Amino acid sequence: MGLPQITQPLFPITIPSTGHKTQFRPFTVKEEKILLVAQESQDQEQLILAITQVLNNCVENIDVEKLAMFDIEYILLKIRGQSVNNIISFTVQDPETEEKVELSFDINDIEVKFSENHNKVIEISDDYSLVMRYSTINELKYLATLPEDKASDGLFKVMIECIDQLIEGEDTVYDLSDFTTDEVTNFIDSLSSSTINKIKEFFETVPALRIECPYTNNKGEEKKFVVEGLQSFFI
């Protein structure tokens, strides 16, 4: 007779970018090994593949490759909280005194922060507007493969690829994915610099996971260590 399979409990979760409700289970030893091996490799591509595999294993009814990066960060932390401990403790070095400081934060205190200035719809004119989408793990994977001297070009390419739709009037919608690269490039080249600046502002105000850990160094100075993004999972 074979060994029984242990059933893991399910926990509800809401995807921040869409409001979609689903369920996840905690990590098993299998997933912890996948993440540990990837983290120890210090290889960005391997880490991205590991994250994709773990989320596909643990979360129901999602397409990981369509999730915004802040969705992925949020889900990973929530799974970690149910799998290990909701308190993350770590050590940092004060940049001024070089002393070691013990810090911690509660995963349950972390939420995705949406800026008041953030908007996925960018007006080009009275007749046209753009609808943006959030960058995904595929874009992160692409940027991880680029050499340093190509990083700026890569970031601009990702920025353009995150233009999802062009809306004309009230009911005409163009999906940019339906057009060729040359057609999209010609369209982008026709945009004004003010529109490009609005696109940049969209990325600068993208929702993010962020928590500030205050501490006082040995000079009595009040400082704070900011934890954000995937850093909060792997510290």
pLDDT of the residue at 5 = 74
- Which pLDDT does position 235 carry in this prediction? 56
> How far is the CA of 44 from the CAs of 41, 47, 145, in angstroms?
8, 5, 8
Q: Tell me how far apart the alpha carbons of residues 83 and 152 are, in angstroms, rounded to a whole number.
A: 38
How far CA 30 is from CA of 37, 115, 226, in Å, comes to 11, 37, 31
CB 67 within 8 A of CB 136: yes
Task: State the distance between the two ends of the chain, measured CA to CA, in whole angstroms.
Answer: 42
Reading the chain (235 residues) residue by residue, the pLDDT tens digits are 677 777 789 999 999 999 999 999 999 989 989 988 988 888 888 888 899 999 999 999 999 999 999 999 999 999 988 988 889 888 999 988 999 999 998 988 888 888 888 899 999 999 999 999 999 988 888 887 888 888 788 888 888 889 999 999 988 999 999 999 889 889 999 999 999 999 999 998 999 888 889 999 898 999 999 887 765 556 5
Q: Nearest to residue 233, comparing CAs of 67, 3, 32, 18?
A: 32
What is the per-residue pLDDT for 233? 59
How deeply is 233 buried, as exposed, middle or buried, from its count of CB atoms within 10 A (0-12, 13-18, 19+)?
buried
What is the model's pLDDT at position 47? Answer: 86
In this prediction, residue 15 carries a pLDDT of 94
Report the predicted TM-score, pTM, of the whole model to 2 decimal places.
0.84
CB 53 within 8 A of CB 38: no
Helix locations, the chain, DSSP H: 29-41, 44-58, 69-83, 137-144, 151-161, 181-189, 193-204, 231-234
Q: What pLDDT is stored for residue 63 in this prediction?
A: 92
